[in-house]
Amino acid sequence: MNKRVLIIGASSGIGKELALQYERLGCEVTITARNIEKLKEIAENKRISYEYLDVNNYEEAISKIKKLVQNTDITIISAGIGDFNKELNFDIELNTIKTNVGGFVACVTEVFNYYKSIKKGHIAAISSLASLRGSDLAPAYNASKAFISNYMDGLRKKSIKEKLNINITTILPGLVDTQMAKGEGIFWVEPASLIAKQIIRGIWKQKSELIVSNRWKLIALLLKFIPNWLYYKL
C-alpha cells in the first residue's frame, strides 16, 4: 500500500495504532497532536513525520491543516475527548463541545475543501456507538459524536451530488482499551490494535459507515431499536 496518510489526533489510542499500522504497510504517514513528546516517540526510526496541533486553537488548526493535507490521499480525524459529567458541570460540557465539535469542523472543512479542489481523496472520522443515543452520564460526549456522524453524512451527500470523488467513512467504535474508556472497558473491551486493523480494512474497502469491532454491530442494533421506556431505565 503506497498511500500518504494524515492522522489528526495520534498521540495515543486508535490514532497512534493507525499511524503505526499504516507505516508498516508502507505508507507515508503524518501525525498531529498536542503532546509533541509522544509524537516523537511514535515517529522515531519510522516513516512518520509529526506536527504539533491543537484543534481547539481554530485559526492555527485551519492554517496548519491547509498545509498538512497537501498531497495526501487519506485523512483520518481521531482527535477527541470524553469525560463523565453526572453533575452537568458547564466547563466540562463546553470543553467537550469545543474539541469534538469545533475542533472537528475546523479540521474537516479544510480537508474537504482541499480534496474538492483536486476532486479526489478519502476522509475518515472517529465517531462512536455513543452517537446513537443520549447519555445521562456524559451528555455532551454522546451529542458531540452524533454531530460528527451527521456532519460526515452531510459531506458524503455533498460529495455524491457534486461528483467530487471524495470517499467519506464514519467510524463507530464500541469500547476500546484507551484512555477514553475511563475504566468502563470490562464489557467487550477491544484492543486499539485490533480496532485500527479493522478501520484500515474498512477504509480500503471504501465503507461509508464502519462499526468496530463486528461484535458491536449487535449493540448498535439494540441501541437503535430499544424502546425509550426501557433505554431510560438502563
| Torsion sign across C-alpha atoms 174, 145, 109, 99 | negative
pLDDT tens digits for range 144-169: 999 999 999 999 999 999 999 999 99
pLDDT score recorded for residue 1? 78
Give SS3 for 196. helix
Q: How far is CA 113 from CA 40, 52, 106, 156, 215, in A?
A: 29, 22, 11, 13, 35
Residue 149, H or E segment: helix 139-161
pLDDT tens digits for range 177-200: 765 555 444 566 789 999 999 999
Mean pLDDT of 36-43: 97
Least Cα distance to 69 among 125, 4, 19 occurs for 4
Distance CA 132, CA 56 (A): 25
Distance CA 68, CA 34 (A): 15
How many CA atoms lie within 13 Å of 132's alpha carbon, on the beta-carbon side? 22
Q: Where are the alpha helices (DSSP H) in 162-191?
A: none
Q: At residue 124, what are phi and psi to the nearest 5 degrees?
A: -125, 145
Mean pLDDT of 10-17: 96
Q: At residue 122, what are phi and psi to the nearest 5 degrees?
A: -140, 125
Q: Model pTM?
A: 0.93
Distance CA 166, CA 128 (A): 22
pLDDT score recorded for residue 185? 44
Mean pLDDT of 65-76: 98
Residue with cell 477514553: 180
Q: For residue 74, how far is the Cα from the chain centroid?
A: 13
What mean pLDDT value characterizes the chain? 93
pLDDT score recorded for residue 221? 83
